Structures are given as structure tokens and as C-alpha cells.
Amino acid sequence: MTDPRHPDERLATASGPQGPTAPGPTPTPARSASADAGAPAASAGVGQAPRRGLSRRGMLGLVGAGAVGAGAGIGGTLGVTRAGAVEQARTHPFSGTHQAGITTPVQDHLHFAAFDMMARTDRDDLISLLQDWSYAAARMVAGLEVSVKGAVGGSPQAPPDDTGEALGLPAAGLTITFGFGPTLFEADGVDRYGIAAQRPAGLVRLPAFLGEDLQPALSDGDLCVQACADDPQVAVHAIRNLSRIAFGRARLRWSQLGFGRTSRTTADQQTPRNLFGYKDGTANILADDTAALDAHVWVGADDQPWLRGGSYLVARKIAMIIESWDRVRLEEQDRIIGRTKGEGAPLSAPAGREGDPPDFAALGASGKPAIDVASHVRLAHPDQNGGIQLLRRGYNYVDGNTALGKLDAGLFFLSYQRRPEDFIAVQRSLSTDAMNEYLKHLGSGLWAIPPGAAQGSFVGAPLFA
């Protein structure tokens, strides 16, 4: 059954050590009057009809928190910090037409997590989880704790609602993006949440690709959460607290930390470099290219109505054999990528600039194509793939080292596209990529990314309408 209590009350019990049946803490005043002083009154939602599945009190709490982000806006400079002081901090609102974290200027750090729903959970459990996650996410992206009582404002006799490691830190551009995997809609032929009929036709496990060595422990998941921030502690705090809130309803399946974004979504962001040392994100779709976003990223009228304005997210954990790569001659590295290492210029004009368009017909001194037929850039380019473009948002990762004394490193590839088939087509085109000798795909997942939550509602609500 849907829990009618305010998310703050549900949080306090669901995340406690005794689980959902534990008694709630004694009501206490808000964590800090000054910390929440920046939140507009809940009257921001007056006039909006409560949506099915979201309690009136829950809606009011969500509106209050969500409106904080909306007030500051993208690129806003006024962030309300957990310490209660007003500081310079970038905030991105949780609610909106699209979820934040897709076209948002790519932040420096990632904590990505996949969750599985727990056995014996039902539709109401899923709805209440999405409500509680939305409530907490709307607060966290605004630089607030997960609940009003937070880390230190609750009963001393109960575990704190918020884990506390982000106290005093600004929002750091935090975005939290939620997704629904194929198994959420139907697993082993069981429609546990009554949503099987709403599963988009393309939302199925990705097919097998050449040269992958996928590990179930690094793949798939009923739900995914992408937390990106300019402070790693803020991103980790978000996943940790959402995981805690999910107690009794969903369990962490796998997670991945990422650093050093390998992409850009705005022209004024410098193109970063991946662990092969090359500029990555040069030819990415940018946030102001609305025509390309509509054509390639946002789900349109040809898909499930509840997903319109959303997208599909592909995650691939790709190990990079960097010790072997580091022994390759520079000229050969350039040939494999199809661009120069220094400037990032296409090899059709190696003395040119990063932004120069690649000319795949140009011939080199030897009479062969200047951009090799097996180069990554040629095989991934829209010209080779029927015009397909992906919005890439990946991160570097280093997970320590292997038993052989090599860095366990690679690229946590993330791409958003309006059709899963688009990723599949590009990945198939990369089957002859010269770079494959230095890569191993270890993890994989596909999730439908619902549109942004409406003010006063929760992420994915139209799926349950």
C-alpha cells in the first residue's frame, strides 16, 4: 500500500536499522531554521491538483524543495548550503521538461548506481520509492539535506535522516537523473508493478556485441540513478542517501565512481581528455542545439506517451588496456583515433583545428584515406551510421589496480539517445574499430529516462497515471 505519510516521516522510519516497521522518531523542529529559510513556502503549488499516488503532504514537501532549485535556476549563483549560509554555488532545478543531468553542463564527478527492486514489493512500494527519491533529490540538488530534520535535527534516539557528509558543502551543480530498466516492467514473465503494457518496445536488454566480456555484477538493474556534481563527496552523498531511503524496497545492485568528464555539452566547456590522452567530446551534441536534441535525444510521439520528452540511457563500463596503449607510437595512436593527440584536429587536416569538420574522402601522402577506415572517429561518425548522433556523457574511472600490477582503468561510457537502436547501430559499426585491441567492455545497461518531474509531482509519475 502507498504510505500516506509525508516523505520526511517515511524517510525517518524506512531508513532506520529496523526498517519500515520501526516507530518514527519524536517530532522535532526543523534541522535549522536558517538552512531552510531559502525555501519558498509550499504555497508555490497552490492551485495544482494533487496527482494520484502522491499524498497531499508529500506533494507540499516536494513543491517546497523543488521550487528552491527552480528559483536559483541553471547557472544560478545563489545556492542555499547545508550549513545554512548563502554561498556561491551552481544549482540545477530537479523539476522541468527534461530531467537534469542530460544536457546540463557536464560536471567533473560521477557516482552512478543501478538498483533492483526487492522481492515481494508491489506497485505502491515502487510509487512511494519514486516519491521519496524525488523529494530527497529535489532537496539535495538545491543544496539541502534529504529531509528537514537532516543529520542533526532529529531525535537523538533515532538514526539521523541524512548521513551528514555533505554538511557545509554547497550544491556543487548536483544533478540526479533516474531511469527505468527493462526488468522493472516485467521479470520472469511477471508484471509485478502493473506496468508491463507500458514498456517501450525498444527497452530490452542490449544485444551481445563483438569483443565484450560482460559481468552480471556490473550490468543491468531495475532502476538507475546518475548523480553528477563538481564535488565528488556531493555525488557520493546523493547515491548513499538515495540507497538508504530505498531500504526495504530496492537494493543497490552495482555502482561506479567516475572522474574527469570525457565529454562536454556546452560550447564554452573545454573539451576534456580521456585516459588515452585524447580530447573526447569534440563532436558531441550540445545543449543549445535544440534541433539535434529533438532529432536524436528526446523521445518523440513515436514512442510510449509517458516517455515523451525523456530519453534512453546506455551505460558501458569499458576497461582500457592503458599499459599496452602507452607503448604505441604517437602516429599509430593518432591513426587509431582519427585525430591528432595535441589539438584534436581531424587527420584530414592535421595542422588544422579541433573544430574543423573531418573530410573522410581526403587521401594522405601514401594515397590511403587520411582518416583510416578502421579509425574510431570514422566508424562512429554520423556519415557512417545513417546520420545517427549520440549525446555522450561519460567519465574516466580508475578502480585501483589488477593483481598483475596494472591500473584497473577505463571509460564509463554514458550516452543518451531517443532510440536504443541508435546506440546499437553505432556500437555495431565499431566492431572493426582499431581501438578495440585496447578495450574490453565489462558492464552494460539500458534504461528509459522519463521526462522531468512536473512541479509538485515525482519522476516517472505519468507511467502510473
Interface contacts to ligand L6N33NVT, rule CB under 6 A: 274, 276, 278-283, 316, 318, 320, 337, 339, 376-377, 380-382, 390, 411, 413, 423, 426-427, 430, 439
Contact, 228 vs 110, CB < 8 A?
Answer: yes
Report in angstroms how near the CB of residue 316 gets to ligand L6N33NVT at its nearest.
Answer: 6
Which residue number, 121 or 385, has a Cβ lying nearer to ligand L6N33NVT?
A: 385
Query: What's at 379, amino acid-wise?
Result: L
Tell me the sheet residues that pair with 132. none
Report in angstroms how near the CB of residue 144 gets to ligand L6N33NVT at its nearest.
Answer: 35
Which residue number, 55 or 274, has a Cβ lying nearer to ligand L6N33NVT?
A: 274
Cα dist from 152 to 23, 28, 64, 160, 163, whole Å: 18, 11, 21, 6, 9
Report in angstroms how near the CB of residue 107 gets to ligand L6N33NVT at its nearest.
Answer: 18
Report in angstroms how near the CB of residue 346 gets to ligand L6N33NVT at its nearest.
Answer: 8
Which of 414, 462, 399 minimizes the C-alpha distance to 200?
A: 462
Which residue number, 233 or 429, has a Cβ lying nearer to ligand L6N33NVT?
A: 429
CA pair distance 411, 333, nearest whole angstrom: 17
Which residue number, 65 or 435, has a Cβ lying nearer to ligand L6N33NVT?
A: 435
CA pair distance 31, 166, nearest whole angstrom: 14
Which residue number, 253 or 441, has a Cβ lying nearer to ligand L6N33NVT?
A: 441
Q: Which three cell numbers stand for residue 132?
A: 521519496
CA pair distance 382, 41, nearest whole angstrom: 48
DSSP label at residue 369: B
Which residue number, 72 or 275, has a Cβ lying nearer to ligand L6N33NVT?
A: 275
Report in angstroms how near the CB of residue 162 gets to ligand L6N33NVT at its nearest.
Answer: 36
CA pair distance 462, 465, nearest whole angstrom: 5
Report in angstroms how near the CB of residue 121 gets to ligand L6N33NVT at its nearest.
Answer: 33
Which of 222, 203, 425 minimizes the C-alpha distance to 304?
A: 203
Q: Which three cell numbers stand for residue 103?
A: 544536457
Write down the residue that cell numbers 546506455 correspond to: 314
SS3 at position 199: coil
Report in angstroms how near the CB of residue 280 gets to ligand L6N33NVT at its nearest.
Answer: 5
Report in angstroms how near the CB of residue 326 gets to ligand L6N33NVT at its nearest.
Answer: 14
Q: Which three cell numbers stand for residue 65?
A: 524543495
Which residue number, 199 or 317, has a Cβ lying nearer to ligand L6N33NVT?
A: 317
Which of 309, 319, 446, 295 minimizes the C-alpha distance to 382?
A: 295
Which residue number, 245 or 434, has a Cβ lying nearer to ligand L6N33NVT?
A: 434
